[in-house]
Structures are given as structure tokens and as C-alpha cells.
Amino acid sequence: MRSMRKLTDITAVILAGGLGTRLRSVLADRPKVLAEVNGRPFLAYLLDQIVEAGVRSVVICTRHKGEQVRSALGEAHRDARLLYSQEPAPLGTAGALRYARPLLQSDPILVLNGDSYCDTSLIDFFHWHQAQNANATLLLTEVPDTQRYGRVQIDESGRVLRFEEKGGAGGAGWISAGVYLIQRPLLETIPADRAVSIEREMFPAWIGRGLYGYGRWSRFLDIGTPEAYAVAAQFFDPRIYANRRE
């Protein structure tokens, strides 16, 4: 078992530097993580989930219009301190983590994509990662058609066997929900001299090195397209989430 046994000890990282190109027709004036959903920025819902799991330190990796993110969210969200890592150039999702390493004070770190939300227990996810003694664990959710997202194949113990690219064979299957637990030694393997994608480059490279997938059926939302963003208000029904605001 790893030394960190509670999420209160963990640093969470939100990858919030995406350009949001596909959303520009409906969201031209702000980063997609600040897309308004029922009067709140999308990122606020992710922060609610993180804080409610017990996390007290969050690093937000920004690039495109990063000053807007900092201005909107400030230095704290409820009980959590917010820190910012502003990329000086496009570094990719893995490169953003590498650049933010001086702010990452835990092992493992909890990483979340800033444009998706998986309605599941982060505490259960963390405990499963610890029990497997994994070096990295991807939160997986099952969808009726994996074609838009790409498919993740795991064995009966949860070890990741392979990834299938977006646009491949469709049908029901596991996809990455954009939430990861990663031990620090793996972060050291991210190349330092170029932009690097964690999804396309590092995860495949970590197969066979303690990479696991934690598969649970959960409600999942990715606001990366106008069609998906259009259902966000229903997904975050204010009758459910209003009592979480402070």
C-alpha cells in the first residue's frame, strides 16, 4: 500500500488549457472550462466534486485565456486552495503536468480533464488504486458507443491491455472518463523537450508498467462539442446541485 491513504493528502490537478475549438460557435469569448452551466462555470462543478471527496489543494493548468480562469475562480473554492500553472507555450496534456511539477506535492496526484465530468466516487477510485498498488489508474465508464471517445481494453484484474483510437469500431465499451491517479515516478518519464499528449503518447507507453483501469458505470459528460454542451444544464440539474454551493 502507498503512504498516502486519504484524499485530504492528495494534490489534484485540473487540465484546463484547451482551446475549445469545437465550441467556438457557441462559446467564443472564454475558455471552455468557463462555459456557463445553470449560472455557474463548468469548472465549478469539477471543483465541487474534488472538494467533497476531501481534496484541499488543487492546481489548475491553464494556457488559452488563462487569466480569465484565475479571475473567475480566485484563490480558493470552498475548503480548497487553488494554485495556477500557466503554460508559456502549448505543452500538451502531459507536458502541462510536467511543467506543473513544482506545485505537485503529493504521490500520487489526482488528475482531471477540465472539460468532462464523471459522476462517481473519487474516494472509491482512490482506494481501488491503492489496493492494486498501481502506478497509474484511469477512471473508466461504459458508454453505448465508443466511437467518439476511443476504447480502453482491460483484463479481468483491471490491467490496461490496449487503447483503440477515436473513430474505430463502435459499440458499447469502456472509455476513459478523463480522471487519473498517477504516481510521481511516472511523471518523470514525460519528455521535457516538446509538447506531449498524455492520452495518445504516455498512457500507451505505460502499458505493462502498472497501468490500470477502474471500470464503473457512471453518468458522464464531455462538453467538447456544441451538442454535448447543450445537455449540460440537464446533467447538472440545479435541484440536485444547488445545496452544494457555498
Query: So which residues are the catalytic ones?
Result: 166
Cell of 113: 480533464
Planar angle of CA 187, 202, 124, nearest 5 degrees? 70
Alpha-carbon distance values, 66 to 14, 73, 78, 86, 197 (Å): 13, 11, 21, 7, 19
**103 secondary structure, DSSP code:** G
The answer to whether the beta carbons of residues 91 and 192 sit under 8 Å apart is: no
Identify the sign of the CA torsion 36, 37, 42, 45.
Answer: positive
Give the helix/strand (H/E) hosting 129.
helix 122-132
Taking the C-alpha atoms of residue 90 and residue 64, their distance in angstroms, rounded to an integer, is 9
User: How much of the chain is helix, strand and coil, in % rounded to 5?
Assistant: 30, 30, 40
CB 158 within 8 A of CB 212: yes
